[in-house]
Amino acid sequence: MARRYDPERRQRIIDAAIRVVGRAGIAGLSHRTVAAEADVPLGSTTYHFASLDELLVAALRQANEGFASVVRESGALTDPRCDIADELARVTGRWLAADRTGVELEYELYLAALRRPALRPVAAAWCEGVARILADRVDPVTARALVALIDGICLQVLLTGGEYDAGYTRDMLGRILARGACPEVAAGHGAVPVD
C-alpha cells in the first residue's frame, strides 16, 4: 500500500526501463524486471502502460537522444572553420568510449525497429536528428550519407569487437565531404585499381 499519489511514477518506470534495456537488452525487459528496477509494485507497470510495447516505445523515444546530443554539444560543429570530418570522428570516438551501455541501447533500437513498425518512426528520428544538426554545414544528401557511414562504422566496431579507429573514420568521412576534390576520378566513378 503506502505509495499512492506518486505523480512521477510513470517517469520513474520509463527511466527504469531504459536502465534495464541498457543492461540486459530488449529481451531482458519484462514487467517484472522493470518493476524491480523502478522499485514499484508489479501491477504498477501494467497499470501505467497497457502493454510492454507501449513502455518500450516510450523508453526508446527518450533514450534516443544520446548521439545527437553528443554531436550537438560539440560546439565545434557550429564553428564554420572546424574540420567536420575530424570533429565527427572525434565525437563518435568519445561517444563509443564514454558509455557503451548507451551506445548498445541505441543500436538495440535499430534491431527492434526492424521487426516492430511502431518503432520505425523513432529510429527514423534518430537519423534525422543527427542529419539536421549537420544541415548548417553540409547539404542534406551528404549529411545523410555521413550518418549512414558513421552508423556502418559503429556497427562494425560493435559487432566485430574491433577497436574504433578515429583516423580511419575521419578519412572516410572526409572522402564523403570532399566531393569534387579529385574531380577527374569522382566524375567517372572510376574504380581504384590496386596494382
Contact range with DNA by CB under 7 A, out of 2-10, 85-93, 123-131, 133-141: 2-10
Angle at 74 between CA 159 and CA 65, to 5 degrees: 55
What is the nearest approach in angstroms of a second copy to the Cβ of residue 57?
A: 14
73 near DNA, judged by CB under 7 A: no
| Binding flag, residue 11, DNA (CB under 7 A) | no
As given in the structure block, the three cell numbers for residue 113 are 525497429
Query: Which residue, 28 or 167, has its beta carbon nearer to DNA?
Result: 28
Whose Cβ is closer to a second copy: residue 43's or residue 167's? Answer: 167
CB of 112 to DNA, least distance (A): 13
Q: At closest approach, how far in Å is the CB of 12 from a second copy?
A: 23
Regarding 76 and contact with a second copy (CB under 8 A), the answer is no
Sequence length of the chain is 195
User: CB within 8 A of 111, min separation 6: which ones?
Assistant: 26
Asked if 115 is part of the footprint of DNA (rule: CB under 7 A), the reply reads no
CB of 112 to a second copy, least distance (A): 7
94 contact choice in DNA, a second copy, none (CB below 5 to 8 Å, kind-dependent): none
Indicate whether 60 belongs to the interface with a second copy (CB under 8 A).
no
User: Which of a second copy, DNA, none does residue 32 bind to, with CB < 5 to 8 Å depending on kind?
Assistant: DNA
1 binds DNA (CB under 7 A): yes
Q: In whole angstroms, how close is the CB of 121 to DNA at the nearest point?
A: 18
Told to check if 40 binds DNA by CB under 7 A, we report: yes
Alpha carbon of 104 to those of 26, 145, 165: distances in Å?
11, 21, 18
> Footprint of DNA on this chain (CB under 7 A)?
1-7, 9-10, 28-33, 40-48, 50-53
